[in-house]
Amino acid sequence: MGPDPAGPAIHPTAIVEEGAVVGARTKVWHRSHLRSGSRIGADCTIGFAVYVDTGVVVGDRCKIQNHVSLYQGVVLEDDVFVGPGVAFTNDRYPRASSTDWEVVPTMVRSGASIGANATIVCGVEVGAWSMVGAGAILTRDAPAHGLMLGAPARLTGWVCVCGRPLSRLGEVPPQRCPSCGREAIAMVPA
């Protein structure tokens, strides 16, 4: 009997510890490591050399690109994109010899995208359908549909569910997204 087509596809070089949960049709690529107690949803892609720590939760249909480490305290809701080399932190006062290490949670809401080599400092919330630009350093919450750019990252505008820009900060947004036609005005706070 062959492999279950509805089951996960795990590369032979990946390490999936006993007690890690991997959802249906999820692909786990070369040299990734999923720790016991982590939960990965259905229809996800876990790229090359991704580390998923104990207690991390990844929703359905997420795509985590190569060389990402998701440390304890990180939660990704459904449909989240994490670009290559994104760095998540989970302790505000790290020291190699610390005895009072404290996990500070980070929440990435549904549909959010985080660009390559961005750094997400623990304790922030990345809002639904927001976009954190490549190389950004996110030290504060990103609002829903917010476009966060720079180091430190600042809110510079608004993006559609399709990911295309709607308006810059301070501009009046269009009634509809010029790229996909979705109603845009409801996505941008007044």
Spatial distance between the Cα atoms of 153 and 133, rounded to a whole number of angstroms: 8
Position 2 pLDDT exceeds 60: no
pLDDT value at position 3? Answer: 64
Q: How far apart are CA 166 and CA 160, in angstroms?
A: 6
156 in Cβ contact with 162 (< 8 Å) = no
Q: Which two tokens stand for residue 72?
A: 């304890």
Closest CA to 44 of 89, 17, 13, 9: 9
Q: Locate 163 and state its tokens.
A: 């990911």
pLDDT in tens, 5-28: 789 999 999 999 999 999 999 999
The reported pTM is 0.95
For 30-65, the DSSP string reads TT-EE-TT-EE-TT-EE-TT-EE-TT-EE-TT-EE-
Nearest to 154 by CA among 173, 176, 175, 132: 132
- SS3 call for 187: helix
Tokens describing residue 33: 């490591």
Instruction: State how far the Cα of 35 lies from the Cα of 20, in Å rounded to an integer.
Output: 6
Mean pLDDT of the chain: 95
Structure tokens at 164: 């295309």
Q: Which pLDDT score, from 0 to 100, does residue 1 have?
A: 44
Distance between CA 153 and CA 156 in Å, rounded?
9
pLDDT band at residue 163 under the 50/70/90 scheme? very high
Tokens of 161: 């569910």
Q: How high is the pLDDT of residue 190?
A: 72
Q: Which of 152, 165, 159, 164 is nearest to 187 (CA)?
A: 159
